[in-house]
Structure 1
Amino acid sequence: MTVWHEQQHEPITWEMFLEIDEDIRRDLEIVDGYVVPREQRGREHQKVATRLSLALEQAAVQQIRSSGRAECYETNTEVDVLLWEVPPTARKPDALLHRCIPDFEQLAAEHVLIVVEVLSTWSGRRDRVHKMADYADAGIPHYWLVSFDKVGTLSIERYALTGGLGRYAHIGTTHRDMGPAAVTASDPFPIEILWEHLEVAPSL
């Protein structure tokens, strides 16, 4: 295993990135061959991402059942998604929905249907500008940006690729004070998520 010393003078390959010790690589991404540290993530940030992943998983299970298992979807949190290999660029979304793939296959943009990034003090510009552009360039159909407070998810901004332009169009924003439904969507399949499913603080 390679230990990362945070000094890089020239780009590396995807294979070299994968050789970095897994415990260290967990907090790293690679962009155009250059390794970059991920933003700081607090406990509430990670809880919100987990709740969203579970909510997407529930919708995915319902779709799998309704299709008679003709379709297969998985959810994940904080795993490498290879956007393109030359120059190597891979991001670790806070949560994502993707088509099922074999265990040995690298998760790549072509498998992914929804990526979710949870906004924080440190990640706002990266999520709204850099990651948004990367996910769009890679052709991932849906991008969600999520804000949160101590109760849980506060708002969800949803973006989608439209017209083959390689950039996202804003398709809607929901806020917790707008009603019980956090997400009601028909694409990539019917998804309904309630705000109460996205709470991280115990109910009083």
Structure 2
Amino acid sequence: MTVWPESQHSPITWEQFLDIDADIRRDLEIVDGYVIPREQRGRDHQKVATRLSLALEGAAVAEMRRTGNASCYETNTEVDVLLWEVPPTARKPDAVLHRCLPDYEQLAAQHVLIVAEVLSTWSERRDRVHKMSDYADAGIPHYWLITFDKVGALAIERYALAGGGKPYTHIGTTHRDMGPAALTLTDPFPIDVLWKDLEVAPQV
């Protein structure tokens, strides 16, 4: 395995990126062939992403049961999503809902239904500008941005590729002050999430 150097003078291929030691690659993304470090992520940030992934998994399981497994969905956190291979660009969303695929197959944009990024002081510009543009260019249908506080998720902004066009269109924002329901959606399938499902503070 390759141990990644601190500086890079020319773009690399997707295969070269995958050859980087897995422990090092966990904190890296690749954009147009150039490897970039991921932003800092605190414990609450990580917890919110995990809670959201679990909530999406619950909705996915309910949909698979409803349809008799006619469709298969998975959720993941911090996994490489290949957006395009030339020049190689892959992001690691905080949470992702995608169609099932074999373990040997690379998760790529065409498999993905929803990507979500949890905003933080270090990530907001990257998530709102660079990643939003990349995900839209790759044709991922839904993009969510989540803000949080010490209690848990605070607001969820939802964006979509309206009519298959680019860039993303803002289709709604929910806030914890608006009521108990964080998400009540029908697209890509029924998703109902309560704010309490996205709490990270200890229950007292």
Secondary structure of the corresponding residue to residue 105 of structure 1: coil
Deviation of 1:86 after TM superposition, in Å, equals 0.2
Is it true that 1:173 corresponds to 2:168 in the alignment?
no
Q: Which residue of 2 aligns with 1:35?
A: 35
Give the 4+ runs in structure 1 shifted more than 3 A.
none
What is the aligned-residue identity percentage? 80
Q: Deviations over 1:150-172 (max 9, x none)?
A: 00000000000012222100000
Secondary structure of the corresponding residue to residue 3 of structure 1: coil
Distance 2:46 2:69 in 1: 30
Q: Which residue of 1 aligns with 2:65?
A: 65
What runs of 5+ residues in structure 1 fail to find an aligned partner? Answer: none
Matched residue type, 1:59: A
Secondary structure of the corresponding residue to residue 154 of structure 2: strand
Q: Deviations over 1:67-104 (max 9, x none)?
A: 00111000000000000000000000000000000010
Q: Deviations over 1:138-193 (max 9, x none)?
A: 00000000000000000000000012222100000000010000011110000000
The alignment of Structure 1 onto Structure 2 pairs a total of residues equal to: 204
Distance 1:159 1:79 in 2: 21
Q: Deviations over 1:87-145 (max 9, x none)?
A: 00000000000000001000000000000000000000000000000000000000000
Q: Which residue of 2 aligns with 1:189?
A: 189
Distance 1:157 1:203 in 2: 26
Distance 1:18 1:191 in 2: 34
The residue correspondences of 1:15-54 to structure 2 (distance < 5 A) are 15-54=15-54
The residue correspondences of 1:24-173 to structure 2 (distance < 5 A) are 24-173=24-173
Matched residue type, 1:157: E
Secondary structure of the corresponding residue to residue 69 of structure 1: coil
Q: Deviations over 1:33-76 (max 9, x none)?
A: 00000000001000000000000000000000000011100000
Matched residue type, 1:65: R
| Higher mean C-alpha displacement, 159-168 vs 68-77 | 159-168
Matched residue type, 2:199: E
Distance 1:163 1:197 in 2: 31
CA RMSD of aligned residues (A): 0.5
| TM-score of the pair, normalised by structure 2 | 0.99
Distance 1:112 1:99 in 2: 6
Secondary structure of the corresponding residue to residue 110 of structure 2: helix
